[in-house]
Amino acid sequence: MLIYDIVVVGGGPAGLAAAIEAKKNGIDNILVIERDRELGGILQQCIHNGFGLHIFKEELTGPEYAEKFINELHELGIEYKLDTIVLDISKDKIVSAINTVDGLVNIQAKAVILAMGCRERTRGALNIAGTRPVGVYNAGMAQRLINMEGYMVGKKVIILGSGDIGLIMARRLVLEGAEVIGVLARGGYAAGLGRNVVQCLDDYNIPLMLRHNIVKINGKDRVESVVVVKTDEKKQAIPGTEEVYECDAVLLSVGLIPENELSNNLGIKLDRNTGGPIVNELMETDTEGIFACGNVLHVHDVVDYVTKESQKAGKAASEYVKNQSRSIGEFIKTKPEKGVKYIVPQKIGTDNLGKTVELFMRVNDIYKESKIIIKLDDTVIRQLKRKHMIPSEMERLVLDSRLLTGKEESVLTIEISSEEE
Amino acid sequence: MKKKEMICIVCPIGCHLEVIEDATSESGYIVKGHKCDKGRVYGIKEMINPTRLITSTVIIKGGNLPRLPVRTDKEIPKNKIFDCMKIINEIEVEAPIKMGDILVENILETGSNIVASRSL
């Protein structure tokens, strides 16, 4: 059996940042396991710019962002295995992995960092009738095919879902010579960032079709057309509004799911709201010595936040390895209330607090001119004004730790109060 | 008085800007709603000469992958995007390539270079 201090599962932005931070905190014996043929994860296919504004103070493309971290990993001499998939992690931190060179290997770790990322929701999760022809792609899959494999997915394309990947792929397709019929949003607003609506759709005159949905895909071998309907306030199809659009490809950008099969098998408790493990402020799961960070924990929209969160996990894992124990302390639980979809971390151990505590949350609807109200039990401890909040933009809140010390067993709630009400 | 509302694309915050023509100010425009100076500069530039960074891929031979991601190292005028894409589509390179290698210098006289955005 191989023995490592820390095993990091996943070599994307989260895994890289966590491993590097752990190494910098004095842990020499680290192994990163990546199932792809190279490190960098999703960043390698995100060739557009807009990464690294917080951390590097410059606008990088995904591959550039990844390469900076991969270079640092090499410089620090951190070990990694490519083309290797983790099959199982046991409660006593034995990681079973397999590849074509080593066969099946068991690795005893002192701490494990889960950084498996997320995957795309597929057509099967939607109620789209019709045939199953070639030409129906998840937007991220199409992104990989076009940007890395050099394979164009279609000539006349319709995109369902107005999240950032859908918007970015609309522009990418037009630049590569395809016609994009439109980007459909089931709700009354684009799910992605405002800047992406401007620079990906408006710049190229690509229609944003709000309150529309695809209900049927036609085509024998290849996609031939789709049936589009208008949707009502509840995002339900309005009968009689069907329209047929001819196209040869359909892109689905309809959500991301944290990839937690390993965490589940291990018996780690997940948060229904995030789809990821329940963690404390050190990014430690409910299983001692197992940490989680990045999109496996909750789906992020800005990679710099992934990096910072993963650095936290890397540092905490290295402390855990050095001390071989943790000071659990009593926990403050966090609980999303009205208007809030989720909060990470789900619990805050009052023993480990630094100067500030960082909370990440998402709203569940669009809120204009509203307040984020943070309460400890029934007392308001902080109020923050926001001009504009949308579900696709994660909010980062920083609390002074003094507000929380000595408040063990309290419940911290966050709610949104809209002044328009 | 001419006035234009726009969403700033400099960073993910996406400030809602209002750019108002104003002969008395130095640039000829007043910008409202921006949270940083980059937003003010963006608002004015968007009125005078909108520019964008272009990212795409080129064919690479002998690498681990058949495509190499590339970018313009500076923004180019918006109306030159498709001419720029035509040139990018003609490029073919041989591995190895290093991140930052210049593939086309001063594309379309814009002062911007096409550079590799990863090593391959």
Number of structural domains (chain B) is 2
Nearest one of A331, A329, A328, A352 to A409, comparing CA atoms: A331
Residues A143-185 have pLDDT tens digits of 999 999 999 999 999 999 999 999 999 999 999 999 999 999 9
What is the maximum alpha-carbon separation in chain A?
A: 66
* Whether B34 and B8 share a structural domain: yes
Mean pLDDT of chain A: 94
- The 10s digit of each residue's pLDDT in B50-93 is 999 999 999 999 999 999 999 999 999 999 999 999 999 999 99
Residues of chain B with Cβ-Cβ distance to A147 below 8 Å are 57, 67, 69
Same structural domain, B93 and B59: yes
Q: Which of A47, A175, A197 sits opposite B69 (nearest CB)?
A: A47
Residues of B in contact with A304 (CB under 8 A): none
Are B70 and B108 found together in one domain? yes
CATH of the domain at B77: 3.10.530.10
Assess whether B112 and B60 both reside in one domain. yes
Residues from chain B contacting residue A49 (CB–CB below 8 Å): 53, 55, 71
Whether pLDDT at B110 is above 90: yes
- Residues B108, B79, single domain; the answer is yes
**Confidence class for position A127, pLDDT limits 50, 70, 90:** confident
Residue B95 and residue B70 in one domain: yes
Asked whether residue B17 falls in the same domain as residue B70, the answer is no
Note whether B62 and B102 are same-domain residues: yes
- Locus of tokens 């890397």: A314
Q: Which of A114-128, A202-216, A277-291, B27-41 has the lowest mean pLDDT?
A: B27-41
For the segment A349-375, the average pLDDT, to the nearest whole number, is 89
In angstroms, the first-to-last Cα distance of chain B is 52
Which residues on A lie below 8 Å from B85 (Cβ)? 175
Taking an 8 Å Cβ-Cβ cutoff, which residues of chain A contact chain B?
37-38, 44, 47-50, 53, 59, 61-64, 66-67, 146-150, 175-176, 193-195, 197-199, 203, 301-302, 388, 393
B117 interaction partners in chain A (CB closer than 8 Å): 47, 61, 63-64
Statement to judge: residues B64 and B44 lie in one domain: no
What is the model's pLDDT at position A409?
82
Name the minimum distance, in Å, from the CA of A197 to any CA of chain B: 9
pLDDT at residue A421, as a whole number: 46
- Record the pTM: 0.93
Is B30's Cβ below 8 Å from some Cβ in A? no
CB atoms within 10 A of CB A385: 9
Does B112 lie in the same domain as B74? yes
Q: How far apart are CA A66 and CA B96, in angstroms?
A: 18
pLDDT at A327: 61
Give the pLDDT score at B23.
85
* CB-based contact B69 A53, cutoff 8 Å: no
User: What domains does chain A contain, in order, with CATH numbers?
Assistant: 1-120+255-326 (3.50.50.60), 122-254 (3.50.50.60), 328-421 (2.60.40)
Section A362-376 average pLDDT:
92
Contact B85 A175 (CB under 8 A): yes
Least confident of A33-37, A268-272, B22-26: B22-26
**Model pLDDT for residues A395-411, shown as the tens digit of each residue:** 999 999 888 887 878 99
ipTM of the complex: 0.92
pLDDT bucket at B97, cuts 50 / 70 / 90: very high
**What is the pLDDT averaged over residues A332-353?**
91
Q: Are B74 and B36 in contact (CB under 8 A)?
A: no
Reported as a single tens digit per residue, the pLDDT across A25-58 is 999 999 999 999 999 999 999 999 989 988 998 8
3-state secondary structure chain A: CEEEEEEEECCCHHHHHHHHHHHHCCCCCEEEECCCCCCCHHHHHCCCEEECCCCCCCCEEHHHHHHHHHHHHHHCCCEEECCCEEEEECCCCEEEEEECCCEEEEEEEEEEEECCCEEECCHHHCCCEECCCECEEEHHHHHHHHHHHCCCCCCEEEEECCCHHHHHHHHHHHHCCCEEEEEEECCCCCCCCHHHHHHHHHHHCCCEEECEEEEEEECCCECCEEEEEEECCCCCECCCCCEEEECCEEEECCCEEECCHHHHHCCCCECCCCCCECCCCCCECCCCCEEECHHHCCCCCCHHHHHHHHHHHHHHHHHHHHHCCCCCCCEEEEEECCCEEEEECCEEECCCCCCEEEEEEEECCCEEEEEEEEEECCEEEEEEEEEEECCCCCEEEEEEHHHCCCCCCCEEEEEEEECCC
Using a CB-CB cut-off of 8 Å, the residues of chain B touching A203 are: 52, 78
Does the pLDDT of residue A420 top 60, yes or no?
no
Nearest to A181 by CA among A212, A152, A146, A147: A212
Contact call for A195 and B78, based on CB within 8 A: no
Which of A64, A176, A206, A393 is the best residue to mutate to test the B interface, defined by the most B CB atoms within 10 Å of its own CB? A64
| pLDDT at A236 (0 to 100) | 93
Q: Which domain holds residue B42?
A: 3-48
Q: Are residues B33 and B64 in the same domain?
A: no
Question: Is B118 close to A66, i.e. CB distance below 8 A?
Answer: yes
On whether both B37 and B75 belong to a single domain, the answer is no
- Tell me the count of A-B CB pairs closer than 8 A: 76
Average pLDDT, chain B: 92
